[in-house]
């Protein structure tokens, strides 16, 4: 916009915040000023002059929200969306910042360029409120000016800034995207592309905002969207109904309430992030949530409590979980025997016992532990504590060149344990800065995802029996450390650039509903079980085949047979026991030889020189290669390998017992294996999503090769140091 054309600037704000007073000051008009809300229902226009420019000002009706409940809200929203002022001066009553900012947040979500005028500073100061305006500017990214509209103070600065903003933005900026909790964020991820593809009201509103309005049940927007494109709107309504029912079942609440909670949470953490100095006596008067937060998110005590809770979570999972873990193992042993006895064909028997039961069974065996872990995590999530964890981590994240909004993706990926990097990578969409987003995408795969957990549970139960919970917990922390360090490295090399300020939203605490926690737990556990029964089953069978074929050449069998015959002749005088021992050894060397000569065995052997330093033999290598398909495959492959190479083909001892009995496993190389599993290449699906979300193949290959190299180096060092 050039300086000679007329700019339109709108004045918005809560009722009674001083909009009309400011408008009259600017325009010299004599609009009615009243000390009661709702006096301005129509929009009113006027002209102001500043620095030789003419500005058209629009005085909007006062509203607390933009949800289209009242006529004022509908008018205000229409003016903002359809008349498209170049920028908006948001007049705020500085004495009640939190309530007034609720409207500001909504305008920011609409992508409207804002200038904040903190009006009634005279009253705020008299009340002893200390507002850090610079901090407010930093956190919101908006220009903020203290003002006393009644005396005309601070108004010109606001208008100048608004004009500059209008010229710069032409009425639209990047919309603010705040998190609305896992459930709604996931729905928004599904809904936003539908809005985008159907171009549903996107000429006026940001696409995520339109989706949000569906979730809020905004009649006006839903009506207009349905007129524009019924099919797309119906899809959005169906998704809304789904998540509405889900929230009702799990949290006994509805989307609108959750959205409002998170908006207020965003504001309250903005204020407590150094904008408002909260005095002790004020703190005492605030709600229970804030009182609890004074302890749980305390600068020093908070992180200690967090570590305590995490440790307790692992402790309970492992202590309690070991009981049902014994049952599932007994069950799969029994199943193994049953199948071994009842299947006639040797190839089919091997497929079912070695491939399916030993493979998938070793993954499914951990279901009880996974359920307990998900149960505890669901309690943390549903109570609102998880948002506090994010809030505390925010301070640390900035040091490492990540954004506060990176935390949710990290937690979703398994930051507390038991997540998945696939939704984690997708959740980075809430990050506005492309650099911080990329750094987050590339580092979330280091988290302790649900698929890695069985590997850790298995090996810690063998080599770290005494302090299994502690080791599990330490590896989870190590995932964070690795992610943060790699992020720092990336942000100072490949993806350098400025950090953007951020506010984390804190919803109020809620007592979790038992039914809600159970539903969340079951959903996750079922996903785990389903994956074991589909993807993992498929890969297990493939890997079983790769470990079984092409089989040993006929000459080898003949060789063994002749050795057996020879032995029978030469040992005729020996007792039965010795006889059996020798023949078992020969057969054992036959089965492990067959495994080694299989396709998978050859590949594993081929890369053995690379992994020798880390203490991995060719069997482990096969398992790790399989793990790129899905991390659970590490366990299922070891299960199959040990079952195939077993001394006694009918032996049904568990994978745990077999590894325990195998002298090639030591504390050092199992530690190396765990480190490798934590750090190495993301699984196949995650790699694909990384390509999708970053838009470039190079980041897929980066994740694959950089993480592999990092993991190999760390594992090798660990093995060397620990075995020395
Ligand atoms: P509107 O509803 O936002 O248009 O608010 P008005 O402009 O009608 O103002 C509401 C009341 O606040 C009136 O009584 C004004 O005189 C008073 N007011 C406006 N600005 C200030 C200010 O900066 N300081 C104080 N103390 N009062 C103000
Ligand atoms: Mg007014």
Residues lining ion ligand 2 (Cβ < 5 A) are 19-20, 39-40
Query: 541-576 burial by CB neighbour count: b if 16+ within 10 A, else e?
Result: bebbebbbeeebeeeeeeebeeeeeeeeeeeeeeee
| Ligand 1 nearest-atom number relative to CA 17 | 3
Predicted local distance difference test score (pLDDT) of residue 1: 41
Residues in contact with 47: Cβ distance below 8 Å, sequence separation at least 6, in sequence order: 27, 54, 55, 56, 57
CA distance 646 to 343: 18
Which atom of ligand 1 sits closest to the CA of residue 148?
23
**Average pLDDT, integer, range 32-40:** 42
pLDDT grade for 2, boundaries at 50, 70 and 90: very low
Query: Comparing 339 with 508, which gets the higher pLDDT?
Result: 339
Atom of ligand 1 nearest to the CA of 24: 7
Specify the DSSP element, H or E, that contains 104. Answer: helix 97-109
Q: Rounded distance, CA 504 to CA 640, Å?
A: 46
- What pLDDT score was predicted for residue 39? 38
Between the CA of 21 and the centroid of ligand 2 the distance, in Å, is 7
Q: Is the dihedral of CA 568, 569, 572, 578 positive or negative?
A: negative
Ligand 1 probe mutation, 10, 21, 58, 146, most atoms within 8 A of CB: 21
Q: Could you give the strand order of the β-sheet that contains 87-93, starting from the edge strand earlier in sequence?
A: 44-50, 53-59, 7-13, 87-93, 114-119, 143-146
Ligand 1 mean position, distance from CA 155 (Å)? 13
Instruction: List the beta strands (DSSP E) in 84-156.
Output: 87-93, 114-119, 143-146
Sign of the CA dihedral running 444, 450, 455, 459:
positive
3 state DSSP class of 217: coil
Coil, strand or helix at 223: helix
189/63 same-domain check: no
User: Is a pLDDT exceeding 50 seen at residue 35?
Assistant: no
How much is the pLDDT for 588? 64
Q: Mean pLDDT for the chain?
A: 86
Query: Same structural domain for residues 35 and 163?
Result: yes
Neighbours of 637 (CB within 10 A): 31
CA-to-CA distance for 12 and 106, rounded, in angstroms? Answer: 12
Mean pLDDT over 314-340 rounds to 87
The percent of residues above 90 in pLDDT, for the chain, comes to 38
Assess contact for 439 and 400: CB atoms under 8 A: no
For the record, the structure tokens of 33 come out as 């000023």
- Look at ligand 1, atom 2, and give the residue with the nearest C-alpha: 16
Residue closest by Cα to atom 17 of ligand 1: 18
Indicate left, alpha or beta for 344 from its phi (over 0: left) and psi (-120 to 50: alpha).
Answer: alpha
The predicted structure's pLDDT at residue 43: 59
**Residue corresponding to tokens 């064909």:** 345
Tens digits of per-residue pLDDT, 214-267?
Answer: 999 998 899 999 999 999 999 999 999 999 999 998 888 889 989 988 998 899
Which range of 207-221, 255-269, 503-517, 518-532 scores highest in mean pLDDT? It is 207-221
Cβ–Cβ contacts within 10 Å for residue 65, how many?
A: 18
How far the first Cα of the chain sits from its last, in Å, is 71
Residue ranges lining ligand 1, Cβ < 6 Å: 13, 15-21, 33-35, 39-40, 62, 119-120, 122-123, 148-150
What pLDDT, on a 0 to 100 scale, did the predictor assign at position 313?
Answer: 86
How much is the average pLDDT of 199-225? Answer: 93
- Residue with the smallest CA separation from ligand 1 atom 25 is 120
How far is Cα 631 from Cα 366, in angstroms, rounded to an integer? 14
Residue 293's pLDDT is 83
Domains identified in the chain, total number: 4
Please check whether residue 507 lies inside any domain of the structure.
Answer: no
**Sign of the dihedral through C-alpha 185, 189, 191, 195:** positive
Whether residue 146 is found in the same domain as residue 191: no
Nearest ligand to the C-alpha of residue 21? 1
Average pLDDT of 556-563?
76
Neighbours of 634 (CB within 10 A): 29
Looking at 445, 467, 492, which one is the last position of a domain? 492
Lowest mean pLDDT among 132-141, 146-155, 174-183, 666-675: 174-183
- The percentage of the chain sitting over the pLDDT mark of 70, rounded to a whole number, equals 91
10 Å CB burial of residue 84 (0-12, 13-18, 19+) is middle
The per-residue pLDDT for range 111-151, each reduced to its tens digit, is 999 999 999 999 888 888 889 999 999 999 999 999 999 89
Residues 345 and 309 in one domain: yes
- Enter the tokens of residue 123: 């009253």
Rounded CA-CA distance 413/422 in Å is 7
Cα 582 to averaged position of ligand 1 atoms, centre (Å): 99
Using the mean position of ligand 1's atoms as its centre, give its distance from the Cα of residue 648 in Å. 89
Domain boundary among 145, 169, 193: 169
Angle subtended by helix axes 453-463 and 468-492, to nearest 10: 130
Ligand 2 centre to CA of 445 (Å) is: 52
- Residue 429 covered by a domain: yes
Burial zone of 511 (CB within 10 Å; 0-12 exposed, 13-18 middle, 19+ buried) = exposed
pLDDT digits (tens, 9 = 90+) for 388-432: 887 788 778 888 988 877 887 898 888 887 888 887 887 787 676
Q: Whose CA is closest to 206, among 81, 292, 291, 365? A: 81
Listed residue (111, 97, 106, 88) closest to 17, CA to CA: 97
Among 34-43, 527-536, 674-683, the range scoring the smallest mean pLDDT is 34-43
In a domain, 79, yes or no: yes
**Same-domain status, 194 and 326:** no
Token pair recorded at residue 174 = 């990047």
Q: Is residue 283 one of the residues assigned to a domain?
A: no
Q: Are residues 93 and 207 in the same domain?
A: no
Instruction: Give the separation between CA 161 and CA 218, rounded to whole angstroms.
Output: 32
Quote the pLDDT of residue 616: 95
- Neighbour-count burial of 608, counting CB atoms closer than 10 A to its CB (0-12 exposed, 13-18 middle, 19+ buried): middle
Q: Both 140 and 248 in a single domain?
A: no
Read off the CATH number of the domain in which 244 is found: 1.10.287.1770
User: In which band, very low, low, confident or very high, does the pLDDT at 164 lie, cut at 50, 70 and 90?
Assistant: very high
Mean pLDDT along residues 432-439: 86
Range of the domain at 585: 558-593
DSSP string, 333-358: HHHHHHHHHH--SHHHHHIIIIIIII
Give a yes or no: residue 268 inside a domain. yes
Three-state DSSP class for residue 717: helix
What's the gap in Å between 473 CA and the centre of ligand 2?
57
Helix (H, G, I), strand (E, B) or coil at 31: coil
Do 136 and 43 share a domain, yes or no? yes
Distances (CA, A) of 682 to 191, 422, 448, 556, 685: 27, 10, 11, 40, 8
For 596-613, the pLDDT digits (tens) are 889 999 999 999 999 999
Query: Ligand 1, atom 18: nearest CA belongs to which residue?
Result: 18
DSSP H or E stretch at residue 9: strand 7-13
* φ/ψ bin of 715: left (φ > 0), alpha (ψ from -120 to 50), beta (otherwise): alpha
> Is the same domain home to 68 and 159?
yes
- Highest average pLDDT, of 173-187, 393-407, 557-571, comes from 173-187
SS3 (DSSP) at 131: strand
> Is residue 61 domain-shared with residue 103, that is, in the same domain?
yes
- Evaluate whether residue 423 is within a structural domain: yes
Query: Within 13 Å and on the Cβ side, how many CA atoms surround 79?
Result: 27
Q: Give me the mean pLDDT over the 143-161 stretch.
A: 94
Residue 4: the pLDDT is 43
pLDDT value of position 112: 94
Rg (CA), the chain: 32
Confidence of residue 44 (pLDDT cuts 50, 70, 90): confident
Residue 38 has pLDDT above 60, yes or no: no
Which one of 447, 475, 492 terminates a domain? 492
Q: How far apart are CA 499 and CA 492, in angstroms?
A: 12
pLDDT at position 669: 94
pLDDT in tens, 692-721: 889 899 999 999 999 999 999 999 999 999
Where does the pLDDT of residue 77 fall: very low under 50, low under 70, confident under 90, or very high at 90 and above?
confident
pLDDT tops 60 at residue 290: yes
Say if residue 305 is in the same domain as residue 253: no
Q: Is residue 704 part of a domain?
A: no
Least confident of 200-214, 273-287, 438-452: 273-287
Check if the beta carbon of residue 85 is closer than 8 Å to that of residue 115: no
pLDDT confidence tier of residue 585, bands split at 50, 70 and 90: low
pLDDT, one tens digit per residue, over 365-392 is 888 888 888 888 888 888 888 878 877 8
Confidence tier at 501 by pLDDT (50, 70, 90): low
Instruction: Note the pLDDT of residue 33.
Output: 52
Nearest-atom index, ligand 1, CA of 39: 2
d(CA 178, CA 28): 39
CATH at 7: 3.40.50.300
Please check whether residue 464 lies inside any domain of the structure: yes
- pLDDT for 587 equals 67
Please tell me whether residues 154 and 187 are part of one structural domain: no
* Rounded CA separation 346/206 (Å): 62
């Amino acid at each position: 916009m050039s300086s000679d054309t007329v700019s339109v600037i709108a004045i918005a704000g809560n009722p009674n915040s001083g909009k009309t007073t400011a408008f009259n000051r600017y325009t010299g008009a004599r609009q009615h000023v009243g000390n009661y809300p709702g006096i301005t229902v129509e929009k009113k226009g006027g002209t102001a002059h500043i620095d030789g420019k003419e500005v058209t000002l629009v005085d909007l009706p006062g509203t607390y929200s933009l949800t289209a409940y009242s006529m004022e809200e509908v008018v205000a929203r229409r003016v903002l969306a359809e008349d498209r002022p170049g920028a908006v001066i948001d007049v705020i009553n500085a004495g009640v910042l939190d309530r007034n900012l609720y409207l500001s947040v909504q305008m920011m979500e609409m992508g409207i360029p804002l200038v904040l005028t903190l009006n009634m500073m005279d009253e705020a100061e008299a009340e002893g409120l200390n507002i850090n305006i610079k901090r407010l500017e930093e956190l919101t990214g908006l220009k903020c000016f203290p003002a006393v509209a009644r005396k005309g103070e601070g108004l010109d600065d606001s208008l100048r800034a608004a004009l500059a903003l209008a010229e710069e933005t032409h009425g639209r900026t990047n919309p603010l995207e705040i998190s609305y909790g896992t459930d709604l964020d996931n729905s928004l991820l599904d809904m936003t592309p539908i809005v985008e593809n159907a171009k549903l009201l996107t000429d006026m509103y940001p696409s995520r905002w339109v989706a949000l309005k569906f979730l809020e049940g905004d009649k006006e927007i839903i009506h207009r969207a349905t007129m524009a494109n019924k099919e797309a709107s119906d899809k959005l309504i169906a998704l809304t109904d789904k998540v509405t029912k889900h929230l009702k079942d799990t949290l006994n609440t509805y989307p609108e309430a959750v959205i409002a909670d998170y908006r207020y949470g965003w504001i309250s953490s903005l204020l407590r992030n150094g904008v408002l100095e909260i005095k002790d006596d004020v703190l005492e008067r605030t709600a229970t949530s804030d009182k609890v937060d004074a302890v749980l998110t305390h600068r020093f005590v908070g992180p200690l409590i967090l570590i305590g809770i995490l440790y307790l979570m692992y402790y309970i999972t492992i202590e309690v979980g070991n009981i049902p873990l014994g049952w599932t193992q007994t069950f799969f042993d029994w199943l193994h025997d049953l199948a071994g006895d009842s299947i006639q064909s040797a190839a089919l028997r091997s497929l079912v016992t070695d491939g399916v039961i030993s493979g998938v069974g070793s993954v499914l065996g951990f279901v009880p532990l996974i359920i307990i872990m998900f149960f505890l995590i669901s309690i943390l999530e549903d109570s609102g504590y998880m948002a506090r964890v994010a809030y505390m981590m925010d301070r640390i994240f900035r040091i490492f060149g990540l954004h506060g909004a990176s935390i949710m993706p990290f937690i979703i990926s398994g930051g507390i344990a038991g997540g998945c990097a696939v939704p984690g990578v997708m959740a980075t969409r809430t990050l506005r800065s492309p650099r911080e987003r990329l750094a987050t995408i590339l580092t979330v795969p280091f988290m302790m995802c649900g698929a890695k957990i069985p590997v850790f549970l298995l090996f810690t139960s063998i080599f770290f029996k005494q302090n299994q919970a502690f080791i599990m917990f330490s590896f989870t922390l190590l995932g964070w450390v690795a992610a943060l360090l790699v992020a720092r490295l990336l942000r100072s090399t490949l993806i350098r650039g400025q950090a953007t300020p951020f506010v984390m939203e804190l919803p109020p605490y809620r007592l979790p509903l038992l039914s809600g926690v159970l539903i969340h737990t079951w959903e996750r556990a079922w996903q785990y079980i389903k994956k074991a029964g589909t993807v993992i089953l498929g890969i297990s069978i493939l890997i079983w085949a790769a470990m079984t074929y092409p089989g040993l050449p006929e000459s080898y069998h003949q060789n063994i047979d002749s050795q057996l015959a020879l032995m029978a002749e030469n040992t005729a005088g020996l007792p039965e026991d010795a006889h059996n021992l020798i023949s078992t050894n020969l057969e054992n060397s036959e089965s492990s030889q067959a495994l080694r000569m299989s396709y998978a065995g050859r590949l594993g052997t081929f890369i053995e020189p690379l992994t020798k330093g880390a203490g991995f033999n060719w069997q482990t290598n096969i398992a790790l290669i399989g793990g790129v398909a899905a991390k659970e495959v590490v366990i299922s492959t070891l299960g199959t390998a040990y079952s195939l190479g077993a001394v006694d083909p009918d032996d049904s001892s568990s994978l745990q017992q077999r590894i325990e009995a195998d002298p090639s496993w030591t504390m050092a190389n199992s530690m190396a294996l765990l480190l490798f599993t934590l750090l190495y290449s993301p699984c196949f699906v995650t790699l694909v999503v990384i390509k999708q979300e970053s838009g470039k193949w190079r980041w897929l290959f980066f994740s694959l090769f950089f993480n592999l190299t990092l993991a190999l180096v760390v594992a090798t060092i660990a093995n060397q140091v620990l075995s020395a």
